[in-house]
Amino acid sequence: MDTLQSAKNDLQKYGFLNLPADPAIDLLQEIKRLKQEKNAVLLAHYYQVPVIQDLADFVGDSLALSQEAAATDADIIVFAGVHFMAETAKMLNPGKKVLIPDLHAGCSLAESAPYHLFKDFKSRYPDHVVVSYVNSSAELKTLTDICCTSTNAVEIINSIPKNKGIIFAPDRNLGAYLMKVTGREMVLWHGVCQVHEMFSWEKITSVMSEHPGAEFIAHPECQPHILEIADYVGSTSGLLKYVKKSPASTFVIATEPGILYQMQKAAPEKILIPAPAMTNCACNECPFMKLNTVEKLYNCMKYELPEVSLEENVIKEGRKCIDRMLEISAQAGL
């Protein structure tokens, strides 16, 4: 068996093509060349390592990445992000090849709402509208009426008639935040992001007291007691815009620190401090997002593997809530 064939056979085990790259090759130049040769677009989330963000044709938050995926005329979409993001791109482009450098780049939120458990839960509220955060599996999306991201969630909730009950899944922290902001009662699924659960209130308040005048900004996936002390709460793109426009010079930032790269580029004079986690680990880094590496990206583009595949009926049913989200977002000018 040749090396490529055995690497293909191992895909299930490793989640990526475990082939050593030729040390004589300039991987960055090769990735750029492969993009051109294959008419491939490289989409990267803000939580990717800087070198991958720099290689990407487009870097953005979950909403912008799905809008970009919906609009692309590339033949191949290479998704440097996590699996649910690549699945969303696939649902929007069923005829295109969608690649992800590492199939095991999952998401604790998406995993927290398994299809059958959620189906049972939903059956207890037959009249409710189901709103699911995009950080959910393609199967969960087939049970969803409207998808949302943290950029458009308020507009999505406000688009639902007041007399309608709402189930919100899978993020209980984003759900609780939306209940507060929109004043709507919602039935919440109790999923969490393992990264945003780790921030320490005590350590954040201590860092803030060491930096008078600093602003504390947070992603809505953080726990309620963390959001309560935030000067601003928003999605990754919201946080980035806030840092650019705020007159403050120092920010303590409670989200995955990958976003600090674009923040520092946009505002080089500002001091950016990642919010501390409860332990001294690097657990504010998303272990799934960080599975993607330049080597895996190169192999993925060269051999066009691993590919994201979904059953036809999952694409057909799951796509409806994404289309609805994109429509409402466009109407809201997002």
**Order of strands across the sheet with 58-60?**
58-60, 40-45, 76-80, 97-99
Cβ proximity to ligand SF4, 41 vs 286, nearer residue: 286
- Shortest distance (Å) from residue 105 CB to ligand 13P: 11
- Shortest distance (Å) from residue 116 CB to ligand 13P: 24
**Of 152, 194, 219, 171, which Cα lies nearest the Cα of 289?**
194
**Of 115, 118, 144, 119, which Cα lies nearest the Cα of 132?**
144
Pick what 235 binds: ligand 13P, ligand SF4, none; C-beta below 5 to 8 Å, kind-dependent: ligand 13P
Helix (H, G, I), strand (E, B) or coil at 141: helix
Q: Copy the structure tokens of residue 138.
A: 């393609």
Pick what 87 binds: ligand SF4, ligand 13P, none; C-beta below 5 to 8 Å, kind-dependent: none
- Shortest distance (Å) from residue 203 CB to ligand SF4: 19
Beta strands in 38-114 (DSSP E): 40-45, 58-60, 76-80, 97-99
Cβ proximity to ligand SF4, 194 vs 200, nearer residue: 194
Pick what 108 binds: ligand 13P, ligand SF4, none; C-beta below 5 to 8 Å, kind-dependent: ligand SF4
d(CA 75, CA 313): 22
Cβ proximity to ligand SF4, 19 vs 56, nearer residue: 56
Chain residues that interact with ligand 13P, rule: CB under 6 A: 46, 61-62, 135, 149-151, 193, 219, 221, 235-236
Cβ proximity to ligand SF4, 61 vs 215, nearer residue: 61
- Shortest distance (Å) from residue 67 CB to ligand 13P: 12
d(CA 154, CA 157): 5
Helix (H, G, I), strand (E, B) or coil at 231: coil
Pick what 149 binds: ligand 13P, ligand SF4, none; C-beta below 5 to 8 Å, kind-dependent: ligand 13P
d(CA 296, CA 306): 10
Cβ proximity to ligand SF4, 196 vs 319, nearer residue: 196
Backbone angles phi, psi at 273, to 5 degrees: -120, 120
Residues 83/289, Cβ–Cβ less than 8 Å: no
Identify the sign of the CA torsion 247, 248, 252, 258: positive
Chain residues that interact with ligand SF4, rule: CB under 6 A: 82, 107-109, 135, 193-196, 221, 256, 286, 288-289
Pick what 62 binds: ligand SF4, ligand 13P, none; C-beta below 5 to 8 Å, kind-dependent: ligand 13P
Cβ proximity to ligand 13P, 304 vs 323, nearer residue: 323
Beta strands in the chain (DSSP E): 40-45, 58-60, 76-80, 97-99, 129-133, 146-148, 166-169, 187-188, 215-218, 232-233, 250-254, 271-274
Pick what 66 binds: ligand SF4, ligand 13P, none; C-beta below 5 to 8 Å, kind-dependent: none
Pick what 194 binds: ligand SF4, ligand 13P, none; C-beta below 5 to 8 Å, kind-dependent: ligand SF4
Cβ proximity to ligand 13P, 27 vs 230, nearer residue: 230
**Of 147, 162, 177, which Cα lies nearest the Cα of 63?**
147
- Shortest distance (Å) from residue 238 CB to ligand 13P: 7
- Shortest distance (Å) from residue 87 CB to ligand 13P: 13
**Full DSSP string of 286-307:** -TTGGG--HHHHHHHHHHT-SB
- Shortest distance (Å) from residue 85 CB to ligand SF4: 8
- Shortest distance (Å) from residue 329 CB to ligand 13P: 12
Cβ proximity to ligand SF4, 159 vs 292, nearer residue: 292
Pick what 236 binds: ligand SF4, ligand 13P, none; C-beta below 5 to 8 Å, kind-dependent: ligand 13P
- What b/e string do you get for 190-209 counting C-beta neighbours within 10 Å, with b at 16 or more? ebbbbbbbbbbeeebeebbe
